[in-house]
Amino acid sequence: MALLSAALKENGFPCEVVDANVEGMLYLIRSEVEAKDVWSKRAIKKREEILAELRGSSLYQNTDRYHQQVYDLNHMLAISADQKRFKLSLSDYSDNRLSSVSSQDLLKSAARYKENPFYGYFETGLREKVQGSTSEYIGLSICYLNQALVGFALAGWVRDNFRDKKIIMGGGLISSWMSRPDYNHPFDGLVDVCIKGEGELPLLELLGQKKGNKKHYVPDYDFVKKDVYLAPGKVLPFRASIGCYWSKCRFCPEKAETRPYSSQRASRVLADLRIIEDKYRPDYVHLIDNAVTPAFLRALSHERFSFKWYGFIRFEKDFLDPEFCRNLKESGCDMLKLGLESGDQAVLDQMNKGTDLGMVSRILENLHQAGILTFVYLLFGTGFEDKAAAFKTLEFVKAHEANIDYLNLAVFNLPKFSEDAEDLETWEFYHGDLSLYLNFVHPLGWDRKKVKQFIQKIFKKEVSSGVRKNPAFFSSNHAVFFNRR
């Protein structure tokens, strides 16, 4: 959104950015609901206190109190809608009558927008803004599956109430759907234009800007209000590259989408960061690249920023140098998210991960010694893993618990149009014409049920004492705030 806003404004097209995600959730949290039990009454009574604490720093010094406040806040969101039909949380949304991966159900959500729990927010939080807009276009960015049904309900509301407005839809999820080889534009009757991938140039061309316009923009965060978001400071997302510079992992859905990789020179990206630092004074910058490149990390290591930062990286040889890790810490790096996936070298080799476990051990130690939090991602149930390999991952983690701060445990979903899907017996993971994943008969007998049992009954029990508890619902987005080193 920040890049789209910058591109439009710099080319003379005024626009207003609305973060309907946070505004909509706060609307429901503050809505009038009938408290029928002690938990609900307690939570509602102190909701403003909870919101204030999440925006302060002291709460993140007490893990138990933090979780109590977050669970209370989530409960207020859950009870704001019909719990028999809707499942609302701080990190998810579902409707037991409609599927997010069915184009027909998404169109039904648009047609029945008054049934949506956020309909009240559409009316009180958005109507005046849409009416006051002089633009003929309304753009909707839908990035995640749990935004789809609400996003289409919002599109239906716009179409029904503002017939002079044209709807443009884009974002990560829309791009993934449009990357399907069988995509047939099912939303043409509702959405005027769907945009795949980066939206800056397509939007400008749609508005009449000639081709050949510059492609580089410094993100415009003028819409960000510090006292709205549930974080102890202003956190700005920043992207130094598009796609993944490695782009070889066989399990990755982006590889199946053949998304091209592109990046700017490190010097130019650093200049952008300095502009953002001076103009917006962020407390944190979240580098949202699939993986921050080694070249940019080296450039960052020589800089000293007033903000702290965190992001995804690969286990690269640069981190074998303790001084490099210390320099990253001094530059402001508080946490790094690392995709390890497996603690079995044979599995890593087969999935083309390009990771050496010997290097991983030394890198984790170096980052820990430098005071940088490590949020390690594991992926169980790929076609290359069996039970013995999963136990090797368990043993690897146990041997490195002292240098691992957080773990993210995921069960593998097979990308529908990946190369691996061609050689496996598969069936639909979700029933719907927009589903992006498949279930499959595991070639080594290590099916999802067994994987989940292993994670719940064995893995979590054996590593629970040495690794921090993930922040409920917010996960890695709040984990960085607990860095007390």
Task: Map out the domains of the chain as residue ranges.
Answer: 2-31+80-206, 235-482
Position 259 pLDDT exceeds 80: no
- Distance (Å, rounded) from C-alpha 345 to C-alpha 185? 42
Q: For the domain bounded by 235-482, which CATH number is listed?
A: 3.80.30.20
Instruction: Give burial (CB, 10 Å; 0-12/13-18/19+) of 208.
Output: exposed
**What percentage of the chain has pLDDT greater than the value 70?**
97
Output the six-digit token pair for 384.
């290359």
At 258, is the pLDDT very low, low, confident or very high (cuts 50, 70, 90)? low
Predicted TM-score (pTM) of this structure? 0.94
Position 213 pLDDT exceeds 70: no
At 85, is the pLDDT very low, low, confident or very high (cuts 50, 70, 90)? very high
Position 192 pLDDT exceeds 70: yes
Position 322 pLDDT exceeds 70: yes
At 73, is the pLDDT very low, low, confident or very high (cuts 50, 70, 90)? very high
Predicted confidence (pLDDT) per residue in 374-421, tens digit: 999 999 999 999 999 999 999 999 999 999 999 999 999 999 888 888
